Amino acid sequence: MAARVTWVEARDFRNHPGTRLDLGEGLTAVVGPNGEGKTNLLEAIFYLCALESPRVASDEPLVRRGAAAAYLRGELEASGATALVEVEIRPSGANRVQVNRSPVRRRRDVRRIVRAVFAGPDDLEIVAGEPGARRRFLDEAVRILWPAREGVITAYDRALRQRNRLLKDWDGWGTPRGLEAWDGELAAHGAALTAARSEAAGRIAIPAARAFEALSGGPSEPLTLTVEYRPSVSGDSLEAAFLARLDERRGDELVRRTTLVGPHRDDLALAVAGLSARGFASHGEASGAALCLRLGLASAVREELGEPPPILLDDPFSGLDPARRRRVAESLGSWGQLVIAVPDEAQVPEGAEVVRVRGGAVVGG
Amino acid sequence: MFEGPIQDLIDELSRLPGIGPKSAQRLAFHLVKVPADEARRLAGAIVAAKEKVRFCRECFAVSEGDLCRVCRDPGRDPSVICVVEESKDQAAVEKAGVVKGRYHVLGGAISPLEGIGPDDLRVQELLDRVARDGVAEVILATNPNLEGNATAMYVAGLLKPLRVRVTRLASGLPVGGDLEYADEVTLGQALEGRREM
Ligand SMILES: [Zn+2]
């Protein structure tokens, strides 16, 4: 069995006034020129599962111009059970979410049903961008693998902001009062977040490397991708190590008035053929590595839950030559549900169900 | 922006905790529509509460008199102090019926983001009580969230040299929540299972 979205309806969502899409159990290719609304459909599928966009932080751009709200409805299927999810997205104010016609108290309970993985051109930033993009990817992986550990991410973030404010507002005499108390909170939540990120990176590393090997031509033409978590704090007893590091950096922290130790300074080291991907990978290698990180995450989710999550690939082939395209399509041939958005018919993989999108509507299969 | 008294009312209401500008506007427009005697009753209740409600001079819980009901009760064990953030938390702990001692209301929790530091809380008053009354145990029953934990840790650090037993609520309460939302049984268990800090 595979977790999947069986159908989705998007009303006043981006450029879709009202679109219904029925999805098969295997590969679906959504075909349309750029700007016609194919990525928006993938975004709608992801939103239905995750209750957030994979592309934008605010919901405002999701509501079609002139509409009061956007609506998404659809059916999720996982572990043999189905759930009808309905979302009203309002440009400002809280969204309304219902599952099987009952309001939802905790978003997390919806997100854990089907853990879709979205990969798109923006992922290049994970490989080529600042460490912050890689930390966001790691946190996303933690949330999707273990929804209950989301609280660790928010708790650390708040502890960090509290401690930074204390350092910033300090009058400069002695030491900031209560700093040790915030050290304790920062270390407790920071150690938990470090452990979670480390575990997530460990789960992703091997399947991502395997996907990259397949993409770059298999063992005859070996190009390896290595994924390695570089935590700000490491040690056998993380919390104790964290407190010791804080103690070492105290002087610097008081001078610079900000927290210098902790997961907000982590990085994820990515190397292609042993060289840092950020500086040395070609554009094609970098987009390939980004795609493989997402595929690695999807494999980790399959490992964790025992069934493959839906994978939503937005324009995965444009950076790849035809041979590589074929290899990606082949390597995903036996995956569960897979929805691919491509700009032209030539990129549609063999055996795909085809959906054509024009001007915010499905114009035929 | 509106003119005159209605804007004054919106401004005053939006200074209340948990009331944003939008809610303040909604409340203000509601209030100007209610019958005059209803408005007068509300205004009267606010003024009366302000004039009559006081804080217990021992524990700083909301009290009608100089001393609150718990501090007046000779049957309570003066050697145990249960520290809470707000008076409403004291009420929640009382309902659980586990604490046989007295209380100390800090008046909030440390939160640099909201500009609340140790000096804004009644921490010194707690230290004075502990030293003066020969207190044997201080139970830190601040909320089981980030700010509550940090406050407990800060207070525990100050109590350490006073050689008093310092305990904290057992985990098991919904993390990130407030004491007042915990049910009596769960809160009772968290108090029974408190651990040394
Ligand atoms: Zn009292």
pLDDT at A184: 95
Between B3 and B145, whose confidence is greater? B145
pLDDT over 80 at A40, yes or no = yes
Q: How many angstroms away from the CA of A159 is the closest CA of chain B?
A: 7
Tell me what pLDDT residue B186 has: 84
**Confidence band of A250 (pLDDT split at 50, 70, 90):** very high
Lowest mean pLDDT among A14-18, A311-315, B47-51, B162-166: B47-51
Judge whether residue A142 has pLDDT over 60.
yes
**Residue ranges per domain, chain A?**
1-116+309-365, 122-307
**B187 C-alpha to center of ligand 1: Å?**
21
Averaged pLDDT score across all residues of chain A: 93
Task: Indicate which of B110, B143, B146, B153 best probes the interface with A, i.e. most A CBs within 10 Å of its own CB.
Answer: B146
Q: Distance between CA atoms of B142 and B88, rounded to whole angstroms?
A: 12
Work out the percent of chain A whose per-residue pLDDT is above 90.
79
Task: Identify the closest residue of chain A to B156 by CA–CA distance.
Answer: A181
User: Tell me, what's the pLDDT at B51?
Assistant: 83
B150–A161 CB contact, under 8 Å:
no
Interchain CB contact of A217 with B (< 8 Å): no
pLDDT of residue A238: 96
CA dist A345 and A342 (Å) reads 8
**What pLDDT shows up at residue A282?**
84
List Cβ neighbours of B144 (8 Å cut-off, separation of 6 or more). Answer: B169, B171, B173, B174, B175, B176, B177, B179, B190
Complex ipTM > 0.85: no
Residues in a beta bridge with A364: A356
Q: Do A180 and B118 touch (CB under 8 A)?
A: no
Judged against a pLDDT cut of 90, whether residue A146 lies above it is answered with: yes
Domain boundaries along the sequence of chain B: 5-52, 73-168
Decide if A181 and B153 are in contact by the 8 Å CB cutoff. yes
Mutate to test the interface with B, among A108, A154, A168, A185 (most CBs of B within 10 A): A185
The β-bridge partners of A312 are A118, A339
Which chain B residues are within 8 Å of A169, Cβ to Cβ?
Answer: 112, 115
pLDDT computed for residue B176 by the predictor: 62
Quote the ligand 1 centre to A250 CA distance (angstroms): 40
Encoding tokens for residue B153? 């840790």
Task: Name which CATH class applies to B5-52.
Answer: mainly alpha
B157 touches chain A (CB under 8 A): yes
pLDDT in tens, A323-349: 888 888 888 888 999 999 999 998 898
* Token digits of residue A256: 């610079």
**A81-99: per-residue pLDDT in tens?**
999 999 999 987 789 999 9
How far is CA A150 from each of CA A12, A75, A108, A295, B137, rounded to the nearest angstrom?
A: 30, 24, 9, 21, 35
**pLDDT band with cut points at 50, 70 and 90 for residue A278:** confident
A178-234 pLDDT tens trace: 999 999 999 999 999 999 999 999 999 999 999 998 888 755 566 889 999 999 999
The helix (run of H) or strand (run of E) holding residue A227 is: strand A225-230
Alpha carbon distance A243, B158 (integer Å): 19
Q: Letter for the amino acid at A289?
A: A
Topology of domain B73-168, CATH: Dna Topoisomerase Vi A Subunit; Chain: A, domain 2 (3.40.1360)
- The topology under which CATH files domain A122-307 is Glutathione S-transferase Yfyf (Class Pi); Chain A, domain 2 (1.20.1050)
Instruction: Count residue pairs from A and B with Cβ separation < 8 A.
Output: 46
What is the length of chain B?
197
| Model pLDDT, residue A315 | 93
Report yes or no: A151 at the B interface, CB cutoff 8 Å: yes
Per-residue confidence (pLDDT) for residue A221, from 0 to 100: 61
Q: How far apart are CA B158 and CA B183, in angstroms?
A: 30
**A286 vs A73 pLDDT, higher one:** A73
Which of these CATH numbers, 3.40.50.1400, 3.10.20.30, 3.90.870.10, 3.40.50.300, describes A1-116+309-365? 3.40.50.300
Name, in order, each residue with C-beta under 8 angstroms of B49's C-beta and a sequence gap of 6 or more: none
DSSP H or E stretch at residue A115: none
Given an 8 Å threshold on Cβ–Cβ distance, is A181 in contact with B110? yes
